[in-house]
Structure 1
Amino acid sequence: MLIGREVTVLGAGVAGLAVARALALRGAAVTVLEQADTLTDIGAGLQITPNGARVLRSLGLGDSLSGAGLRAKAVQLLDGETGSKVLRIDLAELRPGQEYRFVHRADLIALLADGAREAGVEIRLGQKIAEVALGGDKPRLVTEAGTEIRTGLLIGADGLHSRTRAALNGPVAPFFTHQVAWRATLPEKPGGDPEARVYMGPGRHLVTYPLRGGTLRNIVAVEERRNWVEESWRLRDDPLALRLAFENFVPEVRDWLARVDEPWLWGLFRHPVARRWHGQGGVILGDAAHPTLPFLAQGANMALEDAWVLSACLARHDEEAAGLAAYQLAREARVRRIVEAANANARNYHLTGMKRDIAHLGLRAIAALRPAAMLGRFDWLYGYDATAI
């Protein structure tokens, strides 16, 4: 049913570009509408885990992924105040057949955009949508300039503040988690180990890993606080505030933060998983359907999974409504589990007092006695193959 089907995708992020290529490869005529004037992205890193890498390779973008991202060898959890090792997971040794990569977000967007265009997708920039109306003969979009656009199937990949989600579910107010995150990238000399490090401390933690062949260091630093911060990816903060938040951490962390000139800051909010993912000619995926906190590195990976499963379900069913229903049924339980696991990590990284000592002691025991056990706890996550659906 997809051959020649007109599809409009709102948003040229990871979810939007991935679903655009997936549908175009199956014969759909896909147009992507993006509000930005250029497909640039604020510098930040992300992790592509095996479940996301499988989708990229099945989309024919495996070589591009290999060229864009370092292959991760290990993950280390450390006490941020003493530097002592809590746990090290050797990915290369324990999961040699699985692919974990560190990728600059801008590089992932670029390879997905190239892949979408190569498959015949039209990407239209500068399309700021003010209104999304579902129902009637066709979904209707109104731009900020007042232009009306009628679409075929409308796919909302329009992120946290999705107008498509609101059209399906009505407005839902998120709530502040009382956590904020800074992010930054720093120039680095290549040659360090390609591993992710998590420095944990009371009420705060910092994650770092290399990007672009080791020439950049990605930093995400999270602090608990009572003050509300706007939910935005585009706020700047005083670097002194970041340095003060981690002044009791080990020298290597303080040295990195001393080199940060203008960190980006965003407040972390929790949104419920959408109740309705489809209806009246529209469907949502990625952050529009199930926003998640960044404590399991699964936002981009879930978006890639969604893209594949949505396109496969639409291709498999003769009726569009049946395909959309099958898509939500296939995805909803899994993404809810991932979102809750990310919420749990937010708590576990910031333990204090006796709870922290006991937790770290337990992790050290696992590392010494059964090093594969910790990674095995996430086989349900990384072993999942969306392309088998």
Structure 2
Amino acid sequence: MKVAIVGGGLGGLTAALLLRQAGVEAVVYEQAAELREVGAGIGVSPNMVRPLVRAGLGERLASFAVPMDAAWELRRWEDGRVLASQTMGEECRRLYGSDFYVAHRADLLDMLVKALPEDVIRTDRRLEVLRQDPDGVELTFGTATGAKATVVADAVIGADGIHSAVRPAVVDEEPPRFSGLCAYRCLIDAERAPELSVRRVQTLWLGPGRHFVHYPIRDRKLINVVAIVPAGEWRVESWTADGRLEDLRGEFETWDPRLRGLIDAATATKRWALYDRSPLERWTSGRVTLLGDAAHSMLPFLGQGAAQAVEDAVVLAICLREATRETAAKALARYERIRRPRASQVQLMSRGREVLNHLPDGPAQLERDATLAASSPLRQSAWLYGHDPETAVTD
């Protein structure tokens, strides 16, 4: 059986690796001329780490990812007072069988590329036409030279992100939901950054109307920054759109001087409007199905976008492992039945987190801070981090 994966991001490459390890012939078709990850830092939670370790990538992951041995930390906006701190390291390993890492998305992508044979990834392939019949799927790709490339597959996986070209073949498109927020993202040289930001700690600053996250990546040589603020007139939904540092500084000009010092150390920023989609009514149509953001794009507040794509890939590989050309559609339907409820739950639970994070100072904010101080976020995340997609297939 031949599987065509449209999209060479983290989800598509993980699916290709796990499918090939399951004995399924899978090829990735990526529209870019070269594989490169335009994002920056990413949290690699235990439910994402365990499948990568099972796939033989544990040692490679540990060679570049930074384990959060120290803590998650929540701080007050105006003075940096610690509102809550969660020890990680041994406690995380005991509860969930792995570390919680942070890493550069490009390093994760490179790890997956190196784990695959060179001929598995075909770049400069932009999907133009997808046709399926009971016997297979025909895909026509355009290239930079204007030439066309036609591929026939027994099953197609749309792993091509939030603006998926495969999704219209599965379900009618609906407009995205605008959150009213936008995100600034920076990568800052650690040598220029305040000492507070270089520690192996993922820090979340909470304040009226906005919040700010930072943590070190690449052996603590870079500091990843994400700032969530009201979008104003900004509506550009693109990780590659440039923002203005003066606008970012203006959003936090009254905050703790150490946080302002971190922003001052930045030399550039990206800015994108935050949209998500409501859960789709279906992921699969015959021999075509969706995976990752193409199936369940979500807001970033639970840090689960990539982890859910990896969970998808695990279940997909198991379902297709025993399938034949004749039973491919049934295997994809089974994959959807297992994954769609779980991913839709995470998708919906990612909404509304900013309301709690952005409370104005006052009674509700004081109540929130007291609740945070008495809570254990690591244990409360068991529904996320403790999920095993292999067990879900058995169940």
Task: Give the alignment's TM-score, normalised by structure 2.
Answer: 0.91
CA distance in 1, matches of 2:132, 2:371: 52
* Counterpart residue number, 2:89: 92
Classify the secondary structure of the residue corresponding to 2:124.
Answer: coil
* Counterpart residue number, 1:22: 18
What displacement does 1:146 show? Answer: 5.8
Which of 334, 342, 354 is the equivalent residue of 1:346?
A: 354
What displacement does 1:21 show? Answer: 0.6
Unaligned runs of 5+ residues in structure 1 are 368-372
* Counterpart residue number, 1:298: 304
What displacement does 1:82 show? Answer: 2.1
Question: 1:224-373 alignment to 2 at 5 Å?
Answer: 224-317=230-323, 319-352=327-360, 353-364=362-373, 366=374, 373=376
* Counterpart residue number, 1:56: 52
What displacement does 1:285 show? Answer: 0.5
Letter of the structure 1 residue corresponding to residue 80 of structure 2: G
Verify the 8 A CA contact 2:89 2:99 in the aligned structure 1.
no
CA distance in 1, matches of 2:292, 2:274: 17
* Counterpart residue number, 2:168: 166
CA distance in 2, matches of 1:101, 1:256: 22
Runs of 4+ in 1 over 4 A off after TM superposition: none
Unaligned runs of 5+ residues in structure 2 are none
* Counterpart residue number, 2:136: 138
Which has the higher mean CA deviation after the structures are superposed, 344-353 or 74-83?
A: 344-353
CA deviation string 1:179-227 (max 9, x = no partner): 0001010111499421100011111111111001000000001102342
The number of aligned residues is: 377
Which of 8, 26, 40 is the equivalent residue of 2:4?
A: 8
- Alpha carbons of 1:137 and 1:313: their partners in 2 closer, same or farther (altered >3 Å)? closer
- Alpha carbons of 1:131 and 1:202: their partners in 2 closer, same or farther (altered >3 Å)? farther
CA distance in 2, matches of 1:168, 1:93: 44
* Counterpart residue number, 1:374: 377
CA distance in 2, matches of 1:6, 1:336: 28
Identity of aligned residues (%): 31
CA distance in 2, matches of 1:133, 1:184: 41
Classify the secondary structure of the residue corresponding to 2:89.
Answer: helix
CA-based RMSD: 1.8
Verify the 8 A CA contact 2:169 2:285 in the aligned structure 1.
no
Residue 35 (structure 2) pairs with residue 39 (structure 1): yes
Classify the secondary structure of the residue corresponding to 1:158.
Answer: coil
- Alpha carbons of 1:246 and 1:147: their partners in 2 closer, same or farther (altered >3 Å)? same
Verify the 8 A CA contact 1:58 1:387 in the aligned structure 2.
no
Classify the secondary structure of the residue corresponding to 1:213.
Answer: coil
CA deviation string 1:293-346 (max 9, x = no partner): 111111111111100111101224562222212211111121122112221322
Letter of the structure 2 residue corresponding to residue 356 of structure 1: Q
Which has the higher mean CA deviation after the structures are superposed, 178-187 or 353-362?
A: 353-362
Which has the higher mean CA deviation after the structures are superposed, 153-162 or 223-232?
A: 223-232
Classify the secondary structure of the residue corresponding to 1:343.
Answer: coil
CA distance in 2, matches of 1:158, 1:313: 20
What displacement does 1:280 show? Answer: 2.6
Letter of the structure 1 residue corresponding to residue 382 of structure 2: D
Verify the 8 A CA contact 2:5 2:158 in the aligned structure 1.
yes
Which of 125, 128, 131 is the equivalent residue of 1:127?
A: 125
Which has the higher mean CA deviation after the structures are superposed, 49-58 or 354-363?
A: 354-363
Classify the secondary structure of the residue corresponding to 1:214.
Answer: coil
Which has the higher mean CA deviation after the structures are superposed, 140-149 or 159-168?
A: 140-149
Residue 107 (structure 2) pairs with residue 111 (structure 1): no
Classify the secondary structure of the residue corresponding to 1:31.
Answer: strand
Task: Give the alignment's TM-score, normalised by structure 1.
Answer: 0.92
What displacement does 1:382 show? Answer: 0.5
What displacement does 1:35 show? Answer: 0.9
CA deviation string 1:157-194 (max 9, x = no partner): 00001111111002211021100001010111499421
